[in-house]
Every structure is written in C-alpha cells, then in structure tokens.
Amino acid sequence: MSGNLSLSNSMNEFVTGRHKMLIDGNWVEAISGETLPVYDPATGEVLTHVPSGGKADVDAAVDAARRALKGPWRTTTPQERSRLMWRLADLIEANAESFAQIESIDNGKPVNEARFIDVPFSIEILRYYAGWPTKITGDTIPVSYPHQFGGRYHAYTLREPIGVVAAVVPWNVPLLMTIKKLAPALATGNATVFKPAEQTPLSIELLGQLVIEAGFPPGVFNYVSGYGRDAGQALVDHMDVNKITFTGSVETGKSIVRGSTSNLKRVSLELGGKSPHIVFADADLEPAIDNAALAIFACQGESCIAGSRLYVQRSVFDRVVEGVSARARAIKLGRGLDPSSQMGPMISEDHRKKVLQYIDIGRSEGVEIATGGGAWGEKGYFVEPTVLVNPDPGSRIVKEEIFGPVLSVLPFDTEEEVLAAANDSRYGLGAGIWTQDISRAQRLISSLESGQVWVNCYQACDAAVPFGGYKQSGWGRETCKENLDDYLELKSVVIRY
C-alpha cells in the first residue's frame, strides 16, 4: 500500500494483512470465499480486502449467538459481566492509538479527531454501561384483585435479555457506533451479531481481538463483514434475531422496519438529521461562530447531528456569515493520518458526487456561495468546506440531508419566524440555540421538535445523556439508562401461596 508512512508498523501490518470475520470465537473466511475491497478515501486506492459474507455466514453467526445464550453467557453473573466490560474498556484504552489510526485511514477522518473524540468517547460509553448489570432490577407489586378468589399472592417482575441482537453499523464513526450498540447489549446479557459498513470494516476486527482477550465466551460477539444487500438483509430477515439496531439513512431504516415484520423483531433506529442552529443577535457571537463552524465541518460534515441549517438574526447576519466563512477557509484539508489535517475526504467517490450535486443545485438556484463549492485535491474524495448564503427555505439544499461539509445560512427576524422554520423538517435529531435571554431559550426548548437541544453550545454529549430524535430521525435513544429497556424483555410473575 502506498502513502501510508504515518501508520505505525504494527498497524500497517494489520491493515494490509489478511482479514477474517469472527464467528463463535473463531476467525473465518466467508463461506463463499468472496471478498470486497476496502478503499483509502484520501487516495482512492485499495487498502486491503475483507471477507464478503452473506446469508450462510449470517446463519452461522446467529446460531453461535443463540448457543451462547444457552451456554456460559446465560449463567454469567451481573458482576462478572461488569468486570468483562471494564476489562474490554481497559484494552481499548491500551490500544487507543491503534484504533485512532485505523479509523483515520479507513474512514478518512483526521487522526486527532479519532484520538480525542471517537476513541475516548467509546471507552466512556463502555465504562458507563459496565456499571449497569448489577442495577438491572424488577419490581415487587402489591396485588388486590385476585384476593376475591381466595389465597394470597406475591407478584413481581423480571427483566431478561431480549436474545440475539443484530447491529448494523454506519461508516461515519465506526468504532463509536459499534460500542454504542455493543455496550447496552452486553450489559443486559444479550448475544450479538454485527454487520460493519462495507466502507469501514477494519476497526471491528481489532475490537473482536480484544473481546476474545477480555474473556467473553464464544458467540457473545460475532461479526460478518459484507454488503448491506447480502449480510445486512440476511440479518434483517433472520427468524432467530430478536432485535435489530441500526444507524444510517431514513430510507434504509424504513426498509429494516418492513423486513422486521417477518418475526416482529424489536427495532431501534438512529437515522438522519437536518439540524437547525439558531443564533440570536444578543448571543456571544465569537463562540457562536466557532461552534457553528464546528457543528457542520467536524467529521467532514458526515454526521447525522451536523448543524447544517444555520439561522441568524438579521442584524448580525453578515457578521456571522463572514465569521463562519473565514473559519471554513482556514480549515486545512488533507489525509487524515497527517496530524495537521483538520478535515478529511468524503467516504467514497459516489458520496462526493452526491455532495457536489447538492452544491450544484444551490448554484443553479442562484445561491451565493460565500466560500468553497467544489472538489479539492488531485486524488481522493475531498470536498471544500462550503457556505451557502440565503437559499430558498423550501429548496432541496435546506430540506434534505446532504451529509457533507455544506452549510446553509438563512436570516430571520422574529422568534416565531425561526421556530416555524426550524420545525419545518421531516427530521428532529438536534437543535442549537445561542442567546443570553434565558426566557427565550426556555420557550424555544419547549417548542422545538427535536430529541436534543443545546443552548450556548452544540453537540455536547455524554454517555449518560439520551441521544436520539423525533419524527423521521429515528426510534429510541442511545447512550443512556433508558436505552437498556430496548434490550430487555419484561416478565411478570404471580405466585399464589
């Protein structure tokens, strides 16, 4: 592989080596023998190949998970589950630099973003959920009605693992999204089968090695690499999968819901976003401008929570546009493994074309392009950080998720006007408010149709804070205690004595 001199020797050997899938504690090829290529989005070159699993591989993985549920994992105590999860978190921390390098070369993101955000937050989430196994309890319920039949009754509830959990992981933050789904599944005693995105299948292999090293029983964690139409669809259709958790596009999420009806799988979805970011004239403008730029250009804009619609009160509109545009122009694009790079490439050539098509839509509609607006570099899948000024509120670039470094900036005059504009979306994942007026902030918080609202900050996340959306941004929440219920069955018990 050319151009990978920033990788450590061990990670260079790992990335370019032979890759396998993990099923029932064993490293295996795809039954078909087929592989799929993995590309470096910074160069467009093939990094390596991984197994291209299909239905037969999924069947084997689900069978392994089912056996684990009937074997030693079933009798593992809550305390031991906690210890295993803590051990896994410690191992990830010990290998943090390796994960950061893998995420950077596989996804394209700046290595420092992976070092200081993705990997540490993954560890935090795992440790947060490691505290829960000993605290998953039922209730004792006083009963009245059965007494008329004579006798006395004792009623209580049990919370039990839902069974085999299938997880389909996106490509934008592969390790973090894997841990978001794995941690609550392990804490509640389930067995899992993962399908990583075909674009970013490398970090889950290192994670699998550490799962084995931590001492989890075989079959508790399995993964099948492959295409969504093959391995992903097989998981959705599988009659022995009890729950599926998915992060990705609305269209794929709807397809998963339809497929889940084969056996009425439990489904949780974290889908798209077109998040409004609102700046009032009384805001502290310098941090507001900094956060507005960070909200859209972090992760190359390939983030469901990106603040892609920036609404600015008219009296400070020009100042904010100028400030955000200046910050966009100052961003250094480059290969993610270069520590000086501040923004990497899009995940693929197809995705870059999609992002550029949206910019062309804006250009054809006469939108002012304050900065950016094109591809960047001679190779790789780069797009310039782009600021589009005053587009039509009903245009596609304002309504549809672009999933790239493209910001639409629109002026507003009144609180009522911006609230209506912010809620005029099929999405409802996140929203930001910048104002010094706490009463105004409270009014907007209660009226915004969004799963999370940040005031005088943006995308401040924590493992204990629920993450998820309203409307077509998904079903359920992640990173919180409430998320545990999505992985548990509730059983009622009544005893006559």
Give the C-alpha separation, 443 to 431, whole Å.
14
Which H/E stretch holds residue 437?
none
Which H/E stretch holds residue 210?
helix 203-214
Which H/E stretch holds residue 3?
none
Q: Annotated catalytic sites, by residue?
A: 270, 304
Q: Smallest Cα–Cα separation from 108: which of 208, 200, 30?
A: 200
Give the C-alpha separation, 445 to 448, whole Å.
6
CB 95 within 8 A of CB 208: no
Residues 6+ apart with CB under 8 A from 33: none
End-to-end Cα spacing for the chain: 72
Count of CB atoms situated within 10 Å of the CB of 187:
27
Give the C-alpha separation, 397 to 420, whole Å.
18
Question: What would the two tokens of residue 357 be?
Answer: 């098509």
Count of CB atoms situated within 10 Å of the CB of 278:
28
Tell whether the torsion through CA atoms of 276, 281, 282 and 284 is positive or negative: positive
Question: What would the two tokens of residue 215 be?
Answer: 């001492």
* DSSP notation for 302-327: --TT---EEEEEGGGHHHHHHHHHHH
Question: What would the two tokens of residue 452 be?
Answer: 């999370």
CB 430 within 8 A of CB 452: yes
